[in-house]
Amino acid sequence: MNGPIQLDLVDEVLELVRRAATVLPEDMVQALERGRAQEEPGSAAEQALATILKNVAMAREKSTPICQDTGTPIFEVHHPFGVSTRMLTEQIHEAVAQATAKAYLRPNAVDSLTGKNSGNNLGLDFPTIHFHEWDEDRIFITLQLKGGGSENVSTQYKLPDARLGAGRDLEGVRRAVLDAVVKAQGKGCAPGVLGVAIGGDRGTGYIVAKRQLLRKIDDVNPDPQLAALEARILEEANELGIGPMGFGGKTTVLGVKVGVAHRLPACYFVTVAYMCWANRRAEMNVSLQDGQVTEVSYA
């Protein structure tokens, strides 16, 4: 191979953004339908879920945003050796600006000092892009759109926590995560999905927690201890009675996904990345051969 691989993925990334903003993943749609089926017919909870499902279908059909808060775009990019991350960053930025001009994304990047909206979703550390080099001969990009309402109710606990009687163990994690659900009430657009990280520092805690939201809603954690914890928190969170939009009801949380990172001896963080029901995620695979794109697919 001579020199870096030259690619132009702007159009492909634009399509990835369009899909993420306008098409709710099928597993999320099914989870919402299961929620609707278990609510009292005619109740506020059931009607809220019916409205949500109607909106999801309409957004898909019209190719318009599911939610007006198209959030922070978070890209995770896996790439082979020889692909310039600077080149990909520029192309992702261009695609994000184009997606904003096409109203797939709301202009969401605000200067924290002046309050000025950049108008194109580009700004300091905005959007978020994480690169991972790997051995495979393909580029794989996931995109999450994480809205502000759910970001505001996301939270981080430092264990032990005397108020919750939460120690540095999985029982402590359970208590912290349930507390986060009670605190969130309907404000993060329940029924939500909980991405949880045990450990890490304060920064990696949120990165790992948000990454859990990429998992399919009904997958099972390969670690049996964590699988049991996820199932228990899911069941108990749905006993809280908060319900869709906080109207009351059985469907408060659609999924709980727990990941782990190594921690410092002194620190035990439990990070809860609360995601709204509009858990928007999309992925794109770009197959490469001899530095040329052979196939692009989306899921």
Partner 1 sequence: MHRLTTPISDEEIRALHVGDTVYLNGIVVTGRDAAHKYMIEHFIRNEPTDPEDVALLEKLRVLLNGGVLYHCGPVVKKNEDGSWTFVAAGPTTSIREEVYEADVIRFFNLKGVIGKGGMGPNTLKACMEQPAVYFHAIGGAATLIAQSVKEVVDVFKLDFGVPEAMWVIRVEDFPVVVTMDSHGQSIHEKIQQESEERFKELLLR
Closer residue to partner 1 (CB): 86 or 163? 163
* Residue 112 DSSP label: T
Q: Which 125-144 residues touch partner 1, going by CB under 8 A?
A: none
Q: Please give the torsion angle defined by the CA atoms of residues 219, 223, 227 and 233, in that order, rounded to the nearest 10 degrees.
A: -120
Is 65 an interacting residue with respect to partner 1 (CB under 8 A)? yes
Choice from 72, 98, 108, 120 touching partner 1 (CB under 8 A): 108
Applying CB under 8 A, the span of 84-92, 133-141, 275-283, 288-296 interacting with partner 1 comes to: 275-283
Neighbours of 164 (CB within 10 A): 15
110 in Cβ contact with 57 (< 8 Å): no
Is 29 an interacting residue with respect to partner 1 (CB under 8 A)? no
Tokens of 20: 């993420």
Closer residue to partner 1 (CB): 12 or 179? 179
Q: Could you give the CA distance from residue 281 to residue 19 in angstroms, rounded to a whole number?
A: 8
252 in Cβ contact with 190 (< 8 Å): yes
Choice from 75, 206, 268, 277 touching partner 1 (CB under 8 A): 277
Is 240 an interacting residue with respect to partner 1 (CB under 8 A)? yes
Site size toward partner 1 (CB under 8 A) is 55
Is 67 an interacting residue with respect to partner 1 (CB under 8 A)? yes
Vertex 219: Cα angle to 55 and 153 (nearest 5): 55
Is 208 an interacting residue with respect to partner 1 (CB under 8 A)? no
Q: Could you give the CA distance from residue 87 to residue 158 in angstroms, rounded to a whole number?
A: 39
Closer residue to partner 1 (CB): 22 or 91? 22
Distance of CA 228 to the CA centre of its chain: 22
Q: Could you give the CA distance from residue 293 to residue 76 in angstroms, rounded to a whole number?
A: 19
Choice from 39, 76, 94, 179 touching partner 1 (CB under 8 A): 179
Closer residue to partner 1 (CB): 88 or 242? 242
Q: Could you give the CA distance from residue 19 to residue 206 in angstroms, rounded to a whole number?
A: 24
Is 234 an interacting residue with respect to partner 1 (CB under 8 A)? no
164: helix, strand or coil: coil
Is 5 an interacting residue with respect to partner 1 (CB under 8 A)? no
CB 205 to partner 1: min, Å: 23
Residue 91 has phi, psi (to 5 degrees) of -70, -40
Is 120 an interacting residue with respect to partner 1 (CB under 8 A)? no
Q: Which residues of 177-207 are buried (b: 16+ CB within 10 A; e: fewer)?
A: bbbbbeebebbbbbbbbbbbbbbbeeebbbb
Is 48 an interacting residue with respect to partner 1 (CB under 8 A)? yes
Applying CB under 8 A, the span of 10-18, 33-41, 88-96, 245-253 interacting with partner 1 comes to: 245-253
Is 243 an interacting residue with respect to partner 1 (CB under 8 A)? yes
Choice from 16, 173, 189, 229 touching partner 1 (CB under 8 A): 189
Residues in contact with partner 1 by CB under 8 A are 44, 47-48, 51-52, 54-55, 58-59, 62, 64-70, 103, 105-108, 110, 115-117, 119, 147-149, 152, 164-165, 175, 178-179, 182, 185-189, 236, 239-243, 245-248, 276-278
